[in-house]
Amino acid sequence: MNKTTDRSFDGISAKFQRNIYQSTKGEIRQQVLLRDLSRLAVLQQPCQVLDVGAGQGQISLALAKMGHTVHLTDISAEMLAIAAETATAQGLAVAGPAAQLRFSQQSLAELSRDVQRQYPLVLCHAMLEWLAEPAIALSQLSQLLAPGGVLSLMYYNKDAMRLSNILYGNFDYVSADFKVKKKVSLSPQNPLEPKQVEQWYQQAGFTLISKTGVRCFHDYLQNRSQQQSHFDQLLELELKYNQQEPYASIGRYTHLLLTRPE
């Protein structure tokens, strides 16, 4: 990773929590990810999990409640502090020999340079698009994954970003390839082309298990108030159709489950 340009959320963690995690889009994201992960054979018994770029740890804490042990890493000390506070409030063990959660402020590059163990399940959610050099991340993640293990990778879908902004009438923004003079603080720096991500994971030796769209319908509603007022119906439709094409390819995020052969 390039330490000067990879994005840390220190200083805006509370804003991120309010505008992303505590919103309908955050709730859909968590529900979709947990649905996909719950189907994995590796999670049918207690499992050691690595969460790279864990942020405030919603998925990690949910896995810990299910009996799994999770190592959360992030470059943001503030994000990890919020995750630890939330874990303690939820009664999860964060210290001692029975700890279900471990926290360390580390970048992906640092983890891959000093591989102390490999994990049967590695999570990397909504991080790739914040990296200065996302292309190398897949090979770094591969080093942290045990042979035959599963990588849960979710990234910001540039195709979906293009579609939604055309529908919103943001034609100049699309024509400029989403480049603006002043970056919106919570918007990813580098939305990713799905074909490019596919090339990267294949080059790193991964094969695809499944592909899911995350927020296939939520972001396209003409009446935005329905995101809240009709949330249960919206979530039901997202979960029903988000692994079917064409919907899987127009989710604002794309969730891939990848494996590395033994």
Q: Is 54 annotated as a binding residue?
A: yes
- Residue 213 three-state SS: strand
**Could you give the CA distance from residue 156 to residue 126 in angstroms, rounded to a whole number?**
7
Report CA dihedral (57, 59, 64, 69) to the nearest 10 degrees: -80
Q: Which residues contact 31 (CB under 8 A, 6 or more apart)?
A: 235, 238, 239
Q: Is 77 annotated as a binding residue?
A: no
The residue to which tokens 């293990």 are assigned: 149
**Could you give the CA distance from residue 158 to residue 178 in angstroms, rounded to a whole number?**
10
Burial of 232 (0-12, 13-18, 19+ CB in 10 A): exposed
Return the bridge partners of 157, or none: 192
**Could you give the CA distance from residue 184 to residue 201 in angstroms, rounded to a whole number?**
28
Q: Is 53 annotated as a binding residue?
A: yes
- DSSP annotation of 137: H
Q: Is 35 annotated as a binding residue?
A: no
Q: Is 7 annotated as a binding residue?
A: no
Q: Which residue numbers belong to the known binding site for S-adenosyl-L-methionine?
A: 29, 53-54, 74, 125
Which residues are documented as binding site? Answer: 29, 53-54, 74, 125
